[in-house]
Amino acid sequence: MNFRHDINGLRAIAVIPVLLFHAGVNGFEGGFLGVDVFFVISGFLITANIIKSQKRNDFSLSSFYDKRLRRILPPLIFTLVVTTALSFLFMLPYDLKNFGQSLVATSIGANNVLLYLTSGYWSLASEFKPLYHTWSLGVEEQYYFIIPIIFIAFARKKKNLSFTLVLFFFISFLSAVIIDNKEFNFLMIITRFWELCAGSLLAVYMSEREIVKNSALSIIGLFLIFLSYYNPYFLSGNTAVINLPSVLGTLMVIAFTSVGSLTYRALSLKPIVLTGLSSYSIYLLHQPILSFLRLATEGHVDVNTQLAWVLTSIPLGYLSWKFVETPFRNKNIVSNNIFYGLAGGAFFAFLFIGFFLHKSYGMNDFTVFNKYSYGVNPQAYADRAYTLAQPSFSADGKKMLIIGNSFARDFYNALEENSATNGYEVIYLSDYYLNVSMSRDLLSNADLTFVVSSSGMANVNIDPQVLRGNAIKYKGELDNYSNGNYYYIGTKNFGFNNNFLKQVDWKGSRNYMVDINNSNITADVVESLVFEEKYISLLNLFREGNKTRVFTDNHKFISFDTEHTTKDGAVFLGKEVLMKTELSKIVL
């Protein structure tokens, strides 16, 4: 296949919208679809090269993977080295632990799997993850394990090869249509295979037949790509259908663009080609730049600031392409012994550092981070209440029922740390509506019940009417089935991001106040109006206007993730609840 400048131009119009989308620029709500354009291009080029090598009778897996590794690893290793170094400067233990997990997952080409199993691409926490964008590398690398095997298996049976690719394409596409899980559809190879495979099928077709070039169709292809960037949901909200226009548009540009056509000339402009050549490095660098900017900032970073910073990834990506990517792809400059020695050493170093950060909970107990320490593993501590999940109370003694998700487990810890559960048989119920009959039985037998809200969690705004409706429904259950001795505990929040405190003078930060998320404030107001005297506001315990405390009186973090309490935070929260509300008269 002859070198095509227009495909490098396509890479440029794939990467730039991704940058703009992640910076929050209006008009690029579908900028994430630039990754879909990348997938089609990758499938096409990889397959075209395999076909070319097979026709020369010099195709081998070792040669294939050597080229892939020399293409992927150098800029990735460079990015991981820089990102790892910066993570120690910008991250508190909780995020440092999560970074360690991402470092391991990225090193083995599985960050897409980790993201699916943890927070996901679309969650708020992903904004602060410097490596979350490497999910797409995971998908591509997984494809690279599959596609050459298929071509080797059917090297002499072209019809079977085409049939197999078409079959895999439709299985993957139908999976993406049918599976009703946004995170799974976005991140996993099963529902992404069809996009890369579309490029592969086009490469197979073009290797066997001449496609008549058509300038109008190539322009329509570009139009589909840009339309999907502007309005990704113009056809449907289904993930597969959302991705389809950008995939189809990319196929049309590759298939129908001819040298000298308007599309070719536009995509072959020197700045666009250089951006396309650097697109891989640009893509790798843009997310760490945005993540560390956000980690170092107290609240939300405005769009103009994010845009200014993310655009620096373009010149930096060019430098990476010129001085990292290009030299390492040349065996005359970097021999196999040097390349694989460095790559292997980096791989084991990243695995070691990643596992170390994970197991040490982001160096939680190390002297260098002692002032930022949570004291214990906060996630394990927060989940202690699971041991109290029982289907019924025993016959004798006072009975306490605590209902709710992780915020309810926090509330149990707050009561338990202040001896407010002494003398009670405590049962924890995570989901009231999972088994309503059992829940009502527990409620009717409890002497004291706490329902703990998590509304507004993760800065998610819920329609006030929906909040009110849910609260009224819950109140109906409590009024009808409890003994009337119940309390509805309001939501809580300790800011948007606490990592910025690493950039603040520690000695003067004990009384630092941060903004409460508006989602939590709204939920607090709506639910308090429904439950009235049965409502206890946790926000009001530490609130001054719309700001809240971050630290206990002993200068320890109240929360490890701005929402869930540390052990010190549970002690502090419980003390404040029992001092400033009527619970001291009821519980103690």
Task: Look at residue 180 in the predicted model and tell me its pLDDT.
Answer: 87
Contact by Cβ (8 Å): 581, 534:
no
The β-bridge partners of 488 are 451, 535
Residue 122 has pLDDT above 80, yes or no: no
The structural domain count of the chain equals: 2
Listed residue (239, 172, 222) closest to 37, CA to CA: 222
The pLDDT confidence band at residue 426, using thresholds 50, 70 and 90, is very high
Check residue 370 and give its pLDDT: 80
The pLDDT score that the predictor gives to residue 119 is 66
Average the pLDDT over 85-100 and give the result. 94
Region 358-387 average pLDDT: 88
For the chain, how many residues are written? 588
CA angle 20, 25, 30 (to 5 degrees): 65
Q: Are 332 and 403 contained in the same domain?
A: no
Q: Minimum mean pLDDT among 335-339, 397-401, 583-587: which range? A: 583-587
Q: Is residue 484 part of a domain?
A: yes
Per-residue pLDDT at 120: 47
Whether 364 shows a pLDDT value over 60: the answer reads yes
Residue 373 lies in a domain: no
Q: Say which DSSP state 557 is in.
A: B
How far is Cα 41 from Cα 203, in angstroms, rounded to an integer? 10
> Residue 171 to residues 162, 182, 194, 240: CA-CA distances in angstroms?
14, 18, 8, 12
* Pairing, β 448-452 against β 486-489: parallel
- Mean pLDDT, to the nearest integer, of 199-204? 96
Mark whether 543 and 451 lie in a shared domain.
yes
Residue 588 has pLDDT above 60, yes or no: no
The one-letter code for the residue type at 519 is: S
pLDDT in tens, 533-553: 999 999 999 999 999 999 999
Q: Are residues 189 and 225 in the same domain?
A: yes
Mean pLDDT over 508-516 rounds to: 94
Residues 398 and 274 in one domain: no
Q: Inform me whether the pLDDT recorded for 215 exceeds 80.
A: yes
Q: Which two tokens stand for residue 144?
A: 């690279």
Residue 578's pLDDT band (cuts 50, 70, 90) = very high
Task: State which residues form the domain around 506.
Answer: 378-586
Average pLDDT, integer, range 71-99 = 96
- Taking the C-alpha atoms of residue 37 and residue 243, their distance in angstroms, rounded to an integer, is 9
Summarize the confidence of residues 387-399 as an average pLDDT. 92
223 assigned to some structural domain: yes
On the question of pLDDT at 366 being above 90, the answer is no
**pLDDT recorded at residue 154:** 87
Q: Work out the percent of the chain whose per-residue pLDDT is above 70.
A: 98
Q: Which CATH number covers residue 486?
A: 3.40.50.1110
How does the average pLDDT of the chain come out, rounded?
93
What pLDDT score was predicted for residue 367?
Answer: 63
Average pLDDT over residues 18-43: 96
User: What does the alpha-carbon distance between residue 476 and residue 487 come to, in Å, rounded to a whole number?
Assistant: 13
Q: What is the per-residue pLDDT for 434?
A: 95
Quick check: 294 and 497 in contact, CB under 8 A? yes
**Quick one: how far is CA 331 from the chain centroid?**
36
* Distance in angstroms (rounded) separating the CA atoms of residues 425 and 431: 19
Residue 439 has pLDDT above 70, yes or no: yes
Q: Are residues 357 and 445 in the same domain?
A: no
The predicted pLDDT at position 2 comes to 62
> What was the pLDDT predicted at 3?
66
**Per-residue model confidence (pLDDT) at position 121:** 41
Burial 54-85 (b: 16+ CB within 10 A, else e): eeeeebeeeebeeebbbebbbbbbbbbebbbe
Instruction: Give the mean model confidence (pLDDT) for residues 488-513.
Output: 94
What pLDDT sits at residue 158? 78
198 in a structural domain: yes
Whole-angstrom Cα distance, residue 250 to residue 14? 10
Nearest to 151 by CA among 63, 59, 65: 59
**Residue 24 Ramachandran class (φ > 0 left, ψ -120 to 50 alpha, else beta):** left
Give the pLDDT score at 584.
Answer: 78
Last residue of a domain, one of 322, 346, 367: 367
> Is the predicted pLDDT of residue 396 greater than 90, yes or no?
no
Secondary structure in 3-state letters for 124-179: HHHHHCCCHHHHHHHHHHHHHHHHHHHHHHCCCCHHHHHHHHHHHHHHHHHHHHHC
197 and 174 within one domain: yes
302 and 363 both lie in a single domain:
yes
Residues 419 and 332 in one domain: no
Element containing residue 74 per DSSP (H, E): helix 61-90
Q: Does residue 266 register a pLDDT over 60?
A: yes
**Six-digit token string for 328:** 């390492």
Select from 343, 367, 391 the last residue of a domain.
367
Q: How far is CA 60 from the centre of its chain?
A: 36
